[in-house]
Amino acid sequence: MALLITAVLFNIASLPQQNLIYWIIAAFFISTLILLYSLINYSSAKIISKLELLIYQRTEELLREKSKAENLLTRVLPRDAADELKEHGKVNAQKFKMVTVLFSDIQGFTKITDEIKAEELIDQLDRFFYRFDTVVEKYHIEKIKTIGDAYMCAGGIPKKNRTNPIEVVAAALEMMNHMKEINNQHQPGEEIWELRIGIDTGPVIAGVVGRNKLSYDIWGGTVNTASRMESAGLPGKINISENTYILVKDFFNCIYRGKMPVKNKGDIKMYFVEGIVPNLSENFEGFIPNEDFKIELQLIRLGDLEEFVLEKLEVGLPKNLYYHNLKHTVDVYTQVELIGRSEGVSKKELLILRTAALLHDSGHLIDYSTHEEMGVKLAHEILPEYGYSPEQIEEVSKLIMSTKMPPEPKNLLEQIICDSDLDYLGRTDFIPVSNMLYKELHEHGHIATLHDWNLMQIKFIEKHQYYTNTARRLRNVNKNNQLENIRKWMTEIEKNEI
C-alpha cells in the first residue's frame, strides 16, 4: 500500500500544471479509501478477537462441565460402568458367577435413634462409614449403598476375580475391629454400638438403575442370603454362609454354628469368623494379615493375571511368531514352577518366578527386537492392578531381562527362568520346535538359510549349559543327543554335496 501511494505522488509531481488539481483530488480519494480499508480491517480484527475469546471461554466452560459430569459418574458408579455409560449412553446388566456380598447393621439402632441427638447420630454414622469406605477401597471392594445404619458392599464386581471371598472377609474383620476400638474408647454410661455382619458368596446380576439419579446395584439369591446371614448373626460377630466358608477356611478360623432355612435354597450352614489363621497373622494374634497371608492371596490372584495375559497373547500376538507364541509362554510358565519347587524356592520367590514367566515374552505384543524391554514396560503397567508392590515389580522386571540372549543369570531365580526358557533344547520335541524357531527368525530377517541355522545351533548348544541341578538332571542327556543328531545330519548333507 505504501508503494502505491509513493507511485501516485511521483506521477503527480511529473504532471503538467493544468492537470495537477485533478490528480490532487484523485490522490485524496485514494487516501480516503486506504484509510477506510484500514479502519475496516482493524474493526474486523477486534471483532474476530472478541469472537475467539468468547469461543475459548465457552469451550473452557463446556470442558469444566464435562469434567464435573465425569467426576460425578466415577463417584457414583464403578469405573467400568461409568466408561460404558459415557460411551454408549447406557449400562447393560451383567451376570457374575462369583461375588461376595457383605451386609452390616448396627444392633438396636432404632432404639439408639430415640436416645441420641440427631446431629450426634449422623456425625457418628458418618465416621463409621468413612472408615468402612477406607477399608473397602483398600481391598478393592465395591461399595453398593447405605440405608440408614446398614452398609452393603460386594467383592468381585465390576472386575471379576478369584480372591473376593477372602478380601471381603478380611475387610469385615477390619470393620469389626474398628467398631471394637471405638467402643473401648467410650466413657462409662455412653451408648455402645454393636455391629453385625453377614456374608455370602455366589452369582449376582449387577447394573445401573435410575434415570435422573443413577446408582449401581446388585440383585439375586446371593444378596438375599447375605442379608439373612446378617439378620441371623449376633452383635460383634461375622456370620458367613457355607459357600463363603469353603473358599476362605484356609485363611480364617471359623466356628460352625448351625443351619438356617433360606427360601429356594433349603437349609444353609452358617459359620462365625473368629479371626485370621494364626500363622497368617501378625504375631500369631489373628487380627492383622502378615506377609505370608498376602503372598497366599497373591498366588490365588495369579490365576486372574494368568487368564488376562494368556488371553491378550492369544488374541494379540502376530501370526508369524511360530516359536514365541502362546504355547511357548505356557511351557515356560509350567517349567518355572516345576524347577522352582524342585530347587526349593519359597512361595514368595515362586510367585515372582511365575509372574515373570507369564510376562517374559509379552513384549512381542509391541515389538519383536526389543520384546524384553517392552515386557518390562507392560509389567509396570499391569502388575499394580493385581496387588504387586513396586519391589515385586522390580524383581519381575529383572527376571524378564535375564532371558535376553545370551543368558547370563546372576542368581537362582534367574537361573531357573533361563533354564525354563531354553527347556526345549533337551526335550524330545526339539526338532519340530527348532524348525519353528528357524521359520520365525528367517521371516524376521535374522537368519538366511537352514544350513546357517543348523551351524548356529551347533555352536549355541556346544556352549550352552543348564544352570540348575534340576534342569541338568532332566535335560542334559537329551540335549547332548540332539546335538549329535544335528552334527550327523550336517555331515550327511556335506557328503551328498561332495
Q: What is the pLDDT of residue 351?
A: 97
Angle between helices 469-497 and 430-443 (to 10 degrees): 70
Q: What is the pLDDT of residue 156?
A: 94
Q: Check: CB of residue 331 under 8 Å from CB of residue 423.
A: yes
340: left (phi over 0), alpha (psi -120 to 50) or beta: alpha
Secondary structure tally for the chain: helices H, strands E: 17, 8
Say whether both 343 and 270 belong to one domain: no
Q: How confident is the model at residue 404 (pLDDT cuts 50, 70, 90)?
A: very high
Please check whether residue 85 lies inside any domain of the structure. Answer: no
pLDDT of 73 strictly over 50 = no
pLDDT in tens, 244-255: 999 999 999 999
Q: What is the pLDDT of residue 292?
A: 95
Task: State which H helix or E strand residue 69 sits in.
Answer: helix 20-76
Cell numbers for 12, please give them. Answer: 503527480
Say whether both 253 and 300 belong to one domain: no
**Residue 99 CA to its chain's centroid (Å):** 18
Tally the domains of the chain.
Answer: 3
Say whether both 276 and 307 belong to one domain: no
| Three-state secondary-structure class, residue 402 | helix
* Cα angle, residue 70 at apex, residues 65 and 71 outer, rounded to 5°: 95
Q: What is the mean pLDDT of residues 170-185?
A: 86
Q: What is the pLDDT of residue 35?
A: 72
Please check whether residue 64 lies inside any domain of the structure. Answer: no
Q: What is the pLDDT of residue 190?
A: 57
Please check whether residue 66 lies inside any domain of the structure. Answer: no
Half-sphere exposure of 321 (CA within 13 A, CB side): 22
pLDDT in tens, 416-467: 999 999 999 999 899 899 999 999 999 999 999 888 888 898 899 888 999 9
Q: Which has the closest alpha carbon to 156: 213, 222, 210?
A: 222
Task: State which H helix or E strand residue 206 sits in.
Answer: strand 194-209
pLDDT of 81 strictly over 60 = no
Q: Check: CB of residue 464 under 8 Å from CB of residue 333.
A: no
pLDDT of 74 strictly over 70 = no
| Three-state secondary-structure class, residue 435 | helix
> For the chain, how far is it from start to end, CA to CA, in angstroms?
89
Q: Check: CB of residue 366 under 8 Å from CB of residue 374.
A: yes
Distance in angstroms (rounded) separating the CA atoms of residues 493 and 446: 23
Q: Check: CB of residue 85 under 8 Å from CB of residue 208.
A: yes
Given 289, 308, 343, the domain boundary residue is 289
Q: What is the pLDDT of residue 126?
A: 78
Please check whether residue 112 lies inside any domain of the structure. Answer: yes
Q: Which of 74-78, 120-124, 184-188, 454-458 has the lowest mean pLDDT?
A: 74-78
Q: How confident is the model at residue 77 (pLDDT cuts 50, 70, 90)?
A: very low
Q: Which of 138-147, 156-165, 178-187, 335-344 has the lowest mean pLDDT?
A: 178-187
Q: What is the mean pLDDT of residues 89-93?
A: 59
Please check whether residue 150 lies inside any domain of the structure. Answer: yes
Q: What is the pLDDT of residue 71?
A: 47
Distance in angstroms (rounded) separating the CA atoms of residues 155 and 99: 6
pLDDT in tens, 263-300: 878 899 999 999 999 999 998 888 889 999 999 999 99
Say whether both 343 and 275 belong to one domain: no
Q: Check: CB of residue 235 under 8 Å from CB of residue 107.
A: yes
Q: Check: CB of residue 240 under 8 Å from CB of residue 170.
A: no
Domain that holds residue 10: 2-59
Q: Which has the closest alpha carbon to 324: 354, 353, 381, 367?
A: 367
Distance in angstroms (rounded) separating the CA atoms of residues 53 and 242: 66
Given 289, 306, 337, the domain boundary residue is 289
Say whether both 346 and 461 belong to one domain: yes
Q: What is the mean pLDDT of residues 409-413?
A: 96
Q: Look up the CATH number of the domain holding residue 188.
A: 3.30.70.1230
Please check whether residue 42 lies inside any domain of the structure. Answer: yes
Q: What is the mean pLDDT of the chain?
A: 84
Comparing 84 with 93, the larger pLDDT belongs to 93
Q: Structure pTM? A: 0.77
Q: What is the mean pLDDT of residues 465-492?
A: 87
pLDDT in tens, 182-238: 777 765 555 667 889 999 999 999 887 655 456 778 999 999 999 999 999 999 999
Classify residue 226 as exposed, middle or buried by CB count within 10 Å of its CB (0-12, 13-18, 19+).
buried
Say whether both 177 and 311 belong to one domain: no
Q: How confident is the model at residue 354 (pLDDT cuts 50, 70, 90)?
A: very high
Instruction: Name the DSSP class of 19.
Output: G
Q: How confident is the model at residue 9 (pLDDT cuts 50, 70, 90)?
A: very low
Given 237, 257, 289, the domain boundary residue is 289
Please check whether residue 68 lies inside any domain of the structure. Answer: no
Q: What is the pLDDT of residue 303?
A: 96
Say whether both 227 and 100 belong to one domain: yes
Q: What is the pLDDT of residue 65?
A: 60
Burial 290-299 (b: 16+ CB within 10 A, else e): beebbbbbbe
Comparing 390 with 48, the larger pLDDT belongs to 390
Comparing 310 with 90, the larger pLDDT belongs to 310
Q: What is the pLDDT of residue 367?
A: 92
Say whether both 318 and 362 belong to one domain: yes
Say whether both 398 and 348 belong to one domain: yes
Q: Which has the closest alpha carbon to 165: 126, 201, 124, 127?
A: 201
Q: Which of 11-15, 241-245, 260-264, 461-465 has the highest mean pLDDT?
A: 241-245
pLDDT of 328 strictly over 70 = yes
Distance in angstroms (rounded) separating the CA atoms of residues 343 and 392: 20
Q: Please state, in angstroms and as integers, the Cα–Cα distance from residue 344 to each residue in 9, 298, 333, 347, 398, following that order.
A: 102, 19, 17, 9, 20
Please check whether residue 163 lies inside any domain of the structure. Answer: yes
Say whether both 277 and 160 belong to one domain: yes
pLDDT of 112 strictly over 60 = no
Say whether both 94 and 228 belong to one domain: yes
Say whether both 337 and 216 belong to one domain: no
Other C-beta atoms closer than 10 Å to the C-beta of 279 total 9
